Structure 1
Amino acid sequence: MQLPFFVYGTLKQGGPNYMRYLTGHTTSELAAYLEGAVMFTQGPYPFLTREPDLLPPAAVVYGSLISIRPPVYQLVLADLDRLEGYVAGASENLYERVRLDVMTANGPQQAWVYIAGTHALQLIRTGQMRSIPGGVWSTE
């Protein structure tokens, strides 16, 4: 099954990694959000987490649900895994790729979501990253 991706940072349309990895490869892009999630950052890109001890009340992250053209899906998946530092089964991934339900105007839909890996969570818990208020990532 070729799940869409929920993107919330540099892979959103207009972001630097959208142009590099997604331009010309999408079949649909819908506004979406993920409840029970919060973002943190220490630089040019965000980390999303759903760890209960890190969530403020009514935590939500806003982004886009992006579907990839079937002929290039596996290529885009491999490129995004590389970008996000994800290797299936590895214990020290920068991000983990997980299947979650995200909300769209059409209701819930399953998607791949890259969430903070173990090292990033350690940095968050030790105060080395700041939270992103409002659940919206911006490079401005």
Structure 2
Amino acid sequence: MTTRPTPGDPAAPERLPFFVYGTLRPGQVNHDRFLLGRTVAEDPGSMRGAVLYEGPGWPYAVQDPRGEIRGELVTPAAAHYDRLLAALDELEDYAPGDPANIYERVVREVLPAAGGSARAWVYLAAEPVARRLRTSGRQVRGGDWPYGSARYPE
């Protein structure tokens, strides 16, 4: 069993927006389930230094200095932040320090389409998953899931 920091705990993570690039994007299966009514802003943007790989119904972002991915910068409402963070960590099979993580939640610089930059949490594939994808995975064309995936021809 893994433990997660509780709200108000000094080990609790910084309250940053999230950069989402898969099923949490508007119009995708998990957006309304997790984000609808719990955010104050959802803005298109991009993140450099990663590429997307196809997964079984969702993408994986993998660090790659040559890549850039598209998604949304999501700013949770303060009243929902702690519960939303816990829910997203669970959705992404992430627990701080757990070697069995599928994803790791990390801080990255995001470029909102409106200009400027912002620090945000993003879930990147954990290294064992990333190694497998780099070896035998299928990259998402253009770094824009699902629009660049095989299911959405250009």
* Alignment TM-score, normalising by the size of structure 1: 0.90
Letter in 2 for 1:111: A
| 2: CA distance, partners of 1:24 / 1:125 | 36
Shift of 1:51: 3.7
The total of aligned residue pairs comes to: 134
The equivalent residue for 2:101 is: 93
The partner residue of 1:33 within 21, 26, 46 is 46
Q: Deviation string for 1:39-97 (max 9, x for gaps)?
A: 00232010001145xx4xxx210000000010110000000000000000112211000
Aligned residues: CA RMSD: 1.4
| 1: CA distance, partners of 2:63 / 2:70 | 14
The equivalent residue for 1:15 is: 28
The partner residue of 2:82 within 67, 74, 84 is 74
Shift of 1:19: 1.2
The equivalent residue for 1:117 is: 126
Letter in 2 for 1:110: R
Higher normalized contact order (CA 8 Å, seq sep 6+, divided by chain length): 1
Q: Deviation string for 1:78-121 (max 9, x for gaps)?
A: 00000000000112211000001100123110000000012311
Greater helix fraction, Structure 1 or Structure 2: 1
The equivalent residue for 1:106 is: 115
The equivalent residue for 1:5 is: 18
Structure 1 stretches (4+) deviating beyond 2 angstroms? none
* Alignment TM-score, normalising by the size of structure 2: 0.82
* SS in structure 2 at match of 1:3: coil
| 2: CA distance, partners of 1:99 / 1:74 | 17
Unaligned runs of 5+ in 1: none
Report the identity percentage. Answer: 38
Indicate if the aligned counterparts of 1:97 and 1:114 stay in contact, CA closer than 8 A.
yes
| 2: CA distance, partners of 1:31 / 1:13 | 10
Shift of 1:126: 2.9
